[in-house]
Amino acid sequence: MLNDVEAAVLAEIDEAAIGRTLLELIAVPSVTGSAAESELQHLLAGRLERLGLDVDLWSMDLEALRAHPDFPGTEAEREEAWGLAAVTSDGGDGPTFVMQGHVDVVPPGDVAAWDGDPFVPRVTGDVVHGRGACDMKAGLVAHLAALTAIRAASDLRLYAGAGIPTLQFGPGDIRVAHSAGERVSVGEVVGVARVLAVTALRAVGTQ
């Protein structure tokens, strides 16, 4: 049973906006270590700022990180790396709900195996095809949709982060995540956004 706040938040989840945002993020070819990876971090920072969150976007000191004795190495060469975090400023000292993800994607591999450019998202019915569709741009879109709905209809402390790397997947089928068949259903993204929103509200005890 949903309470009034939960019902109001779910009413704010916009399926059309979710579809548009998914297409926008897939179109950024944010392969690990590329300039586009940093571009997407900045794009998301702007979106989080427009939601009224306090945003921290910082350039990582790669030289210092590489020199640290516990540095584990990297999965790809890179000249820059950015961290991104955002938090509500009005949440007090109570429980905090964290949504975390990553913006980088694996290389597309053999482009000939794709039905078109892997970074030009292709829509068939409810399904969006493209590199990063389910690993994990659909997850990021679900985060943004839940955040947007919560900010529109409630007063809740949240923390959102996008970094490199994490092991969290969002909507979609992990079995196709790194293949030329990578795809995700917009309906799945909507469902995950709804679950995230209600889980966040219940985790912090909003009535």
Q: Looking at residue 167, what is its pLDDT?
A: 39
Angle value at C-alpha 192, between 165 and 185, nearest 5 degrees: 90
Nearest to 30 by CA among 108, 84, 127: 108
CATH class of 4-203: alpha beta
What order of strands is seen across the sheet that includes strand 122-124? 122-124, 127-129, 183-185
Place of tokens 């009413």: 11
Distance CA 207, CA 196 (A): 16
Strand-pair category, 97-102 with 127-129: unpaired
**Residue 175 has what pLDDT?**
82
Is the backbone peptide bond immediately before 72 cis, with ω within 30 degrees of 0?
no
The CA distance from 84 to 59, in Å, is: 9
Question: 68 CB contacts (<8 Å, ≥6 apart)?
Answer: none
* pLDDT value for 106: 95
pLDDT in the model for residue 203: 85
Q: Are 105 and 31 in contact (CB under 8 A)?
A: yes
Give mean pLDDT in consecutive 10-residue pieces for the chain, a chain of 207 residues. Answer: 93 97 98 96 96 94 96 91 88 78 95 97 97 94 94 72 47 86 96 93 75
